[in-house]
Amino acid sequence: MSSSRIYMDWNATAPLLPEAREACLSALDLLGNPSSVHGEGRALRTLVENARRDVALLCGAKPGSVIFTSGATEAANLVLTPDFRMGRMPLKIGRLYASSIEHPAVREGGRFPREALSEIPVTSDGVVDLPALRDLLTAHDRQLGLPMVAVMLVNNETGIIQPVAEIAEIVRPHGGILVVDAVQAAGRLPLSIEDLGADFLIVSSHKIGGPKGAGALVARGEVMMPAPLIRGGGQEKGHRSGTENTVSIAGFAAAARKAGEGVGQRMSHVGALRDKLEADMLAAAADVVIHGRDVSRVGNTTFFTLPGLKAETGQIAFDLEGVALSAGSACSSGKVGQSHVLMAMGYDPRQGALRISIGEGTTQADIDRCAAVFAKVAARRRMPGQAA
C-alpha cells in the first residue's frame, strides 16, 4: 500500500489552485489601501473591482451587486436579517423559512430571532418538500413583514441538487425574498442568479480552490439590500465595512475564473470517477446505502452508510489507511456530530454516514485505492448481532 495520502474531502475545502496561490502571492506585495486615492491605492482598487467582475461572472450577476465578505458564513449572517432596505425605504422581513438540510451557517438563522425561524422539511430523498413550502408560505402572516426563504442549491453532505428554480416560482407570488446558498454548487454546476430566480446567492472561496477567508454575497439587483452587519468606514458601498482582504480576494477571483470554465466537461470527468467508485463500493459491500442515489446529485460527492460501521470509526479507519474523508460536515470541534441532514431525511442518524468528495485533481489511481480501502474496512466491520 502506498504511503502517500489521498485527499477526498473537497466539500470541506478544495485544494488551493496554483493560479489562486500565484494571485495571492502577487497581491501580498502590493502596497497601499484600496480606498486610498493615490496610485498605489488605485492599483489595489483595480484588483478588487476586477475580482468583483470575476465573481459576478461566475454567478451570472452584475459586478455592482457582489459584496465581498470573510466567507459564506459572514455572507449568510449579512443577508439573513429582518432588517432590509428598498432604496431608502425600510423593508421588514417577518419570518425566515430555511430548509432542514441547510448548513449551520444558514440554519442558525443569522440575525433573525429564534421565534421567527421556521423549517422547511425535505422528503426522504433529501429534496426540499415543495408542497410543504407552499403551505408554509400560504400560512405566512404578511402583517409581520415579507417572508424570506433560504435553500441551498447543493447539499454539502449528500451532493443533492435542490429544485431552486421551482422554489423561486413558489416564493415569488408571496412576495418573498429567496436566498440561495450556492457554496457547493459553484464550480460544479453552471450558476446564474437570474435563471435560478434567486434574490441573493452566497459563495465561498475555499470551496472552489481559492484561499480560506473570502466569500461573497451576490444580489440580483442593488435596490433591495440587507442592513449592514459590519459598520465602519463604509467599504463595499456601505454594505460591509473594513479594509478589503485584497490577498484573499485576489485568490478568490483567480479560483472563480477557473470554476466558471468548462464546468460541464470537468464535472462529467469527476462524475465518471465517482460513479466508478460507487460501483466498486457496491461490489465490495452490497448492503452499503448510498444516500441520494436516486435523485439529482453533483458528480463529486458520495455519502454512504455501511451497516455495522459507525461513522467515527469509519473515518478513523480510512484516515489510518491514508484516505482523508469526512463524516458529514466538518464540525469546529473536530468531533463527529449526528448528521442533521440524515435525520431530516428520516434516517437513524446514530450510525451516521461517511462522505467522500472529490474534484478535478482526483485520479483513477486515487479512486482504485479508495475502493480498496473501502473493501478492507467493509470486510472488517462488526455486523449487527456479531459478538465483540
The angle at the Cα of 254, spanning 249 to 258, to the nearest 5 degrees, equals 140
Count of residues near ligand PLP by CB under 6 A: 13
Report which of 106, 49, 72, 67 is spatially closest to residue 221, judged by C-alpha positions: 67
The three grid cell numbers given for residue 307, joined into one nine-digit string: 451497516
Q: In this chain, which of 71, 110, 328, 352 binds ligand PLP, going by CB under 6 A?
A: 71
Handedness of CA 94, 61, 187, 269 (dihedral sign): positive
The DSSP line for 103-130 is -HHHHT-TTS-GGGEEEEPB-TTS-B-H
How many residues would you count in the chain? Answer: 388
Q: Is 24 a catalytic residue?
A: no
Q: What number of other Cβ atoms are within 10 A of residue 104's Cβ?
A: 13
Contact by Cβ (8 Å): 341, 328: yes
Query: Under the criterion CB under 6 A, does residue 183 sit at the interface with ligand PLP?
Result: yes
Which residue, 71 or 299, is less far from ligand PLP as judged by CB? 71
Contact by Cβ (8 Å): 154, 160: yes
From the candidates 24, 59, 331, 370, which is the catalytic residue? 331
Which residue, 204 or 313, is less far from ligand PLP as judged by CB? 204
Which residue, 215 or 359, is less far from ligand PLP as judged by CB? 215
Handedness of CA 365, 371, 377, 380 (dihedral sign): negative
Mark 144-173 with x for binding to ligand PLP (rule: CB under 6 A) and - for no binding: --------x---x-----------------
Report which of 230, 242, 235 is spatially closest to residue 111, judged by C-alpha positions: 230
What minimum distance in Å lies between the beta carbon of 356 and ligand PLP? 15
From the list 37-45, 46-54, 65-73, 81-89, the region that binds ligand PLP by CB under 6 A is: 65-73
Query: Under the criterion CB under 6 A, does residue 73 sit at the interface with ligand PLP?
Result: yes
The HSE-up count of residue 177 (CA atoms within 13 Å, CB side) is 28
From the list 71-79, 123-131, 239-247, 351-359, the region that binds ligand PLP by CB under 6 A is: 71-79
Q: In this chain, which of 20, 72, 168, 186 binds ligand PLP, going by CB under 6 A?
A: 72
| CA torsion, ordered 213, 34, 182, 14, to nearest 10 deg | -40
Mark 186-215 with x for binding to ligand PLP (rule: CB under 6 A) and - for no binding: ------------------x----------x
What minimum distance in Å lies between the beta carbon of 80 and ligand PLP? 12
Rounded Cα–Cα distance for residues 252 and 334 (Å): 26
Query: Under the criterion CB under 6 A, does residue 105 sit at the interface with ligand PLP?
Result: yes
Which residue, 301 or 313, is less far from ligand PLP as judged by CB? 301
What minimum distance in Å lies between the beta carbon of 202 and ligand PLP? 7
Which residues are near ligand PLP by CB under 6 A?
71-73, 103, 105, 152, 156, 181, 183-184, 204, 215, 329
Catalytic amino acids? 331
